[in-house]
Structure 1
């Protein structure tokens, strides 16, 4: 049976969309990688033929380009896709699992960003998005330029917070002068972010100003 003859729900790509990638068989996964069959075989039949060349699926880890192209229906292009997918999976497996840092307070936050932010020649507004247990989910520089309420818009910050399902956020910005003392504008921006965070249920737990190897926590100093 060719792909066009299969019902919509039997096609690997459509099954992936409807039921998730984990629901697919090994043959269906390989069929998606191959994309197309040959003149005489559907892509599913071709994928089945490739897999049956090996006693165990793990044997494919060391398959070569020559071995793949010896299979009828597998040319250089299809073989390259298979080898690329295998190599990609190897590299994922070799990656070390890095424990997400926990931000317990302003010192932990400052330690996280100090090295990269203390020498910046422009003001950068950086946000850290945290889980319910204060584990780092994501961090990102949201704005670059002089800090003011028109540039630092809560919409962009909390859009990212919701994207990463953050329970809270901690914000940072640097003072290129090296002086970490807050300005009136810094305090105004912080209060605005605090208000929005309270409204949508993702609180701002601190806003930290980074100077030259020094920092000021606006929360700790009682500015909000």
Structure 2
């Protein structure tokens, strides 16, 4: 038998309401029941959101059981229904994906070939030029691959402001510029060289080193660093 929980959340003191407690103390301070109640938002005529959350935790024997439950199992619980069941399932899946991200080691760049292997599968068949910057930490591990622009590469599309913005936000120690040539020929153009010179100068000003500029073609690449065009 479901235990009745007749006190609505709005009738609780502010310091006991899950949303207010989260704002005041952060999500870490909340119990499983409180976090689940925030996700549920509303309860039923018999149970508040907190009461429904408590019932769910008992029904499935904790968060682990809820995470393993199928959508149909969640929907069968009185007061949950299809919409809430879908929202719970989506939240669980987001949690799983975050765990995978945290457990997956970040790629470490030791050579231009590492960068080419990382981006060639994505860029070699593109019909337009894509300019990306690979953000690195002090150990040359990839923090993020940032998309800067799409179109014909020129100084306006690959402006240092756009290239280094994400690097500054993410506290990158260095970056590697990468773009593709849809023709398949990775030979750098005059414009490619101009863009690289501007990025080198900007990097010195903001304190984020441009380690390399790699041009990707059809199953081949050219590295400015390997060619000796970047010290």
- The normalised TM-score by structure 2 is 0.79
How far apart are residue 211 of structure 1 and its match?
2.9
Look up the SS of the partner of 1:52 in the other structure: helix
Aligned counterparts of 2:210 and 2:168: Cα–Cα separation in 1: 13
The answer to whether 1:190 aligns with 2:196 is yes
SS of aligned partner of 2:19: helix
- Which deviates more, 163-172 or 211-220? 211-220
Q: Which whole-Å CA distance do the structure 1 matches of 2:71 and 2:86 have between them? A: 10
Shift of the alpha carbon at 1:205? 0.8
**Compared CA separation, residues 154 and 50, structure 1 to 2 (3 A):** same
| SS, match of residue 145 in structure 2 | strand
Q: Deviations over 1:38-65 (max 9, x none)?
A: 3354322332233234555434333774
The corresponding residue for 1:207 is 213
Q: Cα–Cα, structure 1 residues 198 and 219, in superposed 2: closer, same or farther, change >3 Å? A: same
2:111 aligned partner: 105
The answer for the alignment partner of 1:142 in structure 2 is 148
CA drift at 1:80 = 4.4
Q: In structure 2, what is the Cα distance between the partners aligned to 1:115 and 1:166?
A: 24
Return 5+ residue gaps in structure 2 as ranges. Answer: 1-6
- Offset of residue 103 of structure 1: 0.9
Normalised by the length of structure 1, the TM-score is 0.81
Alignment of 1:111-122 (within 5 A): 111-122=117-128
Q: Per-residue deviation at 1:156? A: 1.8
How far apart are 1:28 and its partner, in Å? 0.5
**SS of the residue aligned with 2:193?**
helix
CA deviation vs aligned residue, 1:59-94 (integer Å, no higher than 9, x gap): 4333774676454x44444444445545x2685499
Q: CA RMSD in A?
A: 3.0
The answer (yes or no) to whether the contact 1:65–1:80 under 8 Å persists in 2 is no
Rounded to whole Å, the distance in 1 between the matches of 2:12 and 2:99 is: 38
1:62 aligns with 2:69: yes
User: Which aligned pairs between 1:82-93 and structure 2 lie closer than 5 A?
Assistant: 82-86=88-92, 88=93, 92=97
Alignment equivalent of 1:181, drawn from 187, 192, 201: 187
CA offsets, 1:1-49, max 9 Å, x none?
4222333343222333343323220110110121112335432233223
Could you tell me how far apart the structure 2 residues matched to 1:105 and 1:117 are? 18
Indicate how the Cα distance of structure 1 residues 155 and 18 shifts in structure 2: closer, same or farther if over 3 A, else same: farther
Tell whether the 8 Å contact from 2:74 to 2:80 is kept in structure 1 after alignment: no
Q: For 2:184 and 2:58, how far apart are their aligned partners in 1?
A: 65
What whole-Å deviation, never above 9, does each CA across 1:123-178 have from its counterpart, x for those lacking one? 22122111221112221332122221112112222222233332211011222333
Aligned counterpart for 1:162 among listed residues 162, 168, 172: 168
